[in-house]
Chain A
Amino acid sequence: MKNEGKRYALAIDSRKCINCKACVVACRAENHVPLGHSRNWINEEHRGSWPKLFASFEPEQCHHCANPSCVRVCPTGASYQRADGIVMINEDECIGCRYCIVACPYGARFFREDTGVVEKCTLCAHRVDRGEAPACVETCPSKARIFGDLFDENGPLQQVLSTREHRVSKPQTGNSPQIYYLF
């Protein structure tokens, strides 16, 4: 692995998630996401009946895959990946064919009827470029989200990934997703 540059990613400790949805609200406010759509969401799972109960909350959004199928299928190059790993959409180049939405294994993209283009999580690239954390990470009250640079050996992300068991979602699609869920 090249040690130069940066590779931004997210680790999520879903055991800390309390399903308050502050991340969803913060994202909506930060990125002016229209009502009816969300760039991030929380998967809920409930099993069993009282008193043997199980519930899990797993926040999800664009996985900023290392091998993103949305970028590959885009016919105009509107979907692209920055050198630091963030997958972006150039809204001026997007023609609204929605091939990327069909190609995303995570359902992370949506079509905006008002603008006619596709939208998704940018990992708050505008904040990251200012040296800040994404809005969802900053707002999370239970600190379930850890944002950082994978190349930074002493950074918060590597510290948690080198000491905790973790998995990624649907690795079998070959997209190499970059949201790490901690066990």
Chain B
Amino acid sequence: MHEFEWGFLIVNYLFLGGLSAGLFFVSALASWLQQREDSDYSAIARAGALLAPWPVALGSLLLIFDLGNWWRFYKLFLHFRWQSPMSIGSWLLVVFTGIAFANCWAWVPADVKRTLLARVKLPEAWAGFPVNARILAAIGFPMSIGVAIYTGVLLGAVQARPFWNTNLVAQMFLFSALSSGCAALLIALSLRRQQLDSIQLRFLYTIDVCLISLEFFIVLPYLIHGELSVEAVRQSLALVLGGPYTVAFWVFFLGIGLLLPLAIEVWELAPAVFSGGSLHHNRRLTVLTAALVVFGGYMLRYIFVYAGQSSSFH
């Protein structure tokens, strides 16, 4: 038997799917918080909406090419099997990707829409669709949470793999996905010529600090309870507590992918929260921190996909 049936394509897909879910999640939040069309939040909502559909679309392609018979992927949509997380997930992915693309189109400026439509010779009336981006955001919001959770459930539902078979994996993947999306927005908005203003930075940092903290508080009980669990679970945890994935887990995921960016973001936010001062506004540091968060999200998928498949009952 091959030890790893699922490899890097699956790692990348789980990461990209989660990234899109996070982008949409933050964009939808910002879209509902914005007061006027030109408010501080609308830049976040727009950037999130424009970016959200692409990673998941790429990830879905990877998923299809990972199949033994990729041209049979349509069979996924001839069935709905509620007991199979993969079946539920494929339907969720399609619905979510559709909404994300519609939402993306809704945020494209009207004149750009008309130019694009004219170039591909499509009716100009399509520029008016969809009418209300906030409704799309509201429909897509639970879908984005669903996509982010399901990537964890896909692994967590496998009783044969003790490393995966806990409800904590789904939550860990959820918060990791959402924070990756939030961090990706920090990068995207920082790379623009126009500087991020304090309200935008504070919004993104606050969300990210909350999400990373939640993720950390799930990783902790995952380790503690695993150690207090049955023999098979303890043996599987040895993969990260003195096994082949120890460095990846402690240094690259937990260290520089989670706690270090959390510390930097808290340091950035602290003066604004506690003394009413302003943020540090260091563009390079923001990009670096956010890149670490995204990297941590990728490492989490890598460790779980590979370590999980190595774990088993003996």
CB of B36 closer than 8 Å to a CB of A:
no
- Within 8 Å of chain B (Cβ to Cβ): is A101? yes
A74-B84, A98-B5 as given contacts; A173 in contact with B69, CB under 8 Å? no
A111 B67 Cβ-Cβ under 8 A: no
- The answer to whether B192 has its CB under 8 Å from any CB of chain A is no
Q: Does B157 contact A (CB under 8 A)?
A: yes
| Size of B's binding interface in residues, CB under 8 A | 31
Q: Are A72's CB and B72's CB within 8 A? A: no
Q: Count of A residues near B, CB < 8 Å?
A: 32
Answer whether residue B228 sits at the interface, using C-beta atoms and an 8 A cutoff: no
Within 8 A of B (CB), among A89-130: 93-99, 101-105, 107, 110-112, 115-118
**Knowing A72-B83, A73-B84 touch, does A95 contact B72 (C-beta < 8 A)?**
yes
Q: B309 contacts which chain A residues (CB < 8 A)?
A: 102
Residues of A within 8 A of B72 (CB): 94-96
On whether the beta carbons of B160 and A105 are closer than 8 Å, the reply is: yes
Contact B85 A73 (CB under 8 A): yes
Interchain CB contact under 8 A, B312 and A105: yes
- Asked, given contacts A69-B158, A107-B1, whether A94 binds B69 with beta carbons under 8 Å apart, the answer is yes
Residues of B contacting A93 in the complex (Cβ-Cβ under 8 angstroms): 75
Q: Is B121's CB within 8 Å of the partner chain A?
A: no
The reply on A174 being an interface residue by CB < 8 A is yes
**B68–A117 CB distance below 8 A:** yes
Sort A-B residue pairs by CB-CB distance and give the 10 closest, nearest first: A96-B68, A116-B68, A105-B160, A75-B87, A75-B86, A116-B69, A98-B5, A107-B1, A95-B72, A96-B67
19 pairs, CB–CB < 8 Å, chain A vs chain B: A69-B159, A73-B84, A73-B86, A75-B76, A75-B81, A76-B87, A94-B69, A95-B69, A95-B75, A98-B5, A99-B86, A101-B1, A102-B160, A105-B313, A110-B2, A118-B68, A173-B159, A173-B313, A175-B159
* A75-B76, A170-B313 given; 12 more Cβ-contact pairs under 8 Å: A69-B158, A75-B81, A75-B84, A75-B90, A94-B68, A95-B76, A98-B6, A101-B1, A102-B158, A102-B161, A172-B232, A175-B159
